[in-house]
Homo-oligomer: A and B are copies of this chain.
Amino acid sequence: MTADVRLLLADDEHLIRGALAALLALEDDLVIVAEAASGPEALAMARAHQPDVAVLDLQMPGADGVKVATSLRTELPDCQVLIVTSHGRPGHLKRALAAGVRGFVPKTVSAQRLAEIIRTVHAGNRYVDPELAADAIASGDSPLTAREAEVLELAADGAPVAEIADRAALSQGTVRNYLSSAATKLGAENRHAAVRLARERGWV
């Protein structure tokens, strides 16, 4: 018989984390060795308990799941990372895979499935939710250049062009040109709608 799978569970919602822990504990071969409620805490717990698999929520205070995964990759190369998320945005999946995450699933899966997926990931295989994968493929690659994306991001909170130009160390004209071309590429009427679209598709 194979050894038990040692798990780290990180989610900022107590209720969810506790419930999840209870359900996963029902599986004979899974044992939860640590829980965390934030990104930094997850890292500390991982260092302290050396889990085989880290199950991370994508959105946590402090540092999101992908950032934690990146750090874990170098600090604990033997620890596989599985990300669980509520809102499956295509861009996140891409970032996560780039960070060396082995599994990516929405919270709509059942606990049974999750347990299976944890075993899959622990065995060194990858698992990505088919629906999220399809979304990611359908939404395709960002048509934006690096600068366009950067400027669009700075425009995200509704700041005026002057402020964006300042923060990006560009001239106002250049900023307007970038925003204009970004909006055109995304088929948006103005930069604000463009920001919304880019957000939806995970391009910012």
User: What 0/1 readout, one digit per residue, does chain A (189-201) give for beta carbons within 8 Å of chain B?
Assistant: 1111111100000
Which residues of chain B come closer than 8 Å to A19, judged between CB atoms?
16, 19-20, 22-23, 111
Complex Cα gap A19–B14 (Å): 12
Segment 153-190 of A: residues with Cβ below 8 Å from B:
157-160, 188-190
Q: Which residue of B lies closest to A85 (CB)?
A: B13
Complex Cα gap A19–B13 (Å): 13
User: Is A121 an interface residue, CB under 8 A from the partner?
Assistant: no
A108 in contact with B15 (CB, 8 Å) = yes
User: Contact check: which of B15, B110, B188 meets A18 at CB < 8 Å?
Assistant: B110
User: Is A12 an interface residue, CB under 8 A from the partner?
Assistant: yes
Segment 5-34 of A: residues with Cβ below 8 Å from B:
12-16, 18-20, 22-23
B189 in contact with A13 (CB, 8 Å) = no
User: Is A86 an interface residue, CB under 8 A from the partner?
Assistant: yes
User: Is A79 an interface residue, CB under 8 A from the partner?
Assistant: no
- Chain B's nearest CB lies how many Å from the CB of A159? 7
Complex Cα gap A190–B163 (Å): 13
A111 in contact with B193 (CB, 8 Å) = no
Q: List residues of chain A with CB under 8 Å of any chain B CB.
A: 12-16, 18-20, 22-23, 84, 86, 106-111, 114, 157-160, 188-196
Interface pairs (26), CB distance under 8 Å: A12-B108, A13-B106, A13-B108, A14-B107, A14-B108, A14-B110, A15-B84, A15-B107, A15-B110, A19-B19, A19-B20, A19-B22, A19-B23, A19-B111, A22-B22, A22-B23, A86-B86, A158-B188, A158-B189, A158-B190, A158-B193, A158-B194, A159-B189, A160-B189, A160-B190, A192-B192
**CB-CB nearest 8 A-B residue pairs:** A158-B192, A19-B19, A158-B193, A13-B107, A15-B107, A14-B108, A19-B23, A192-B192
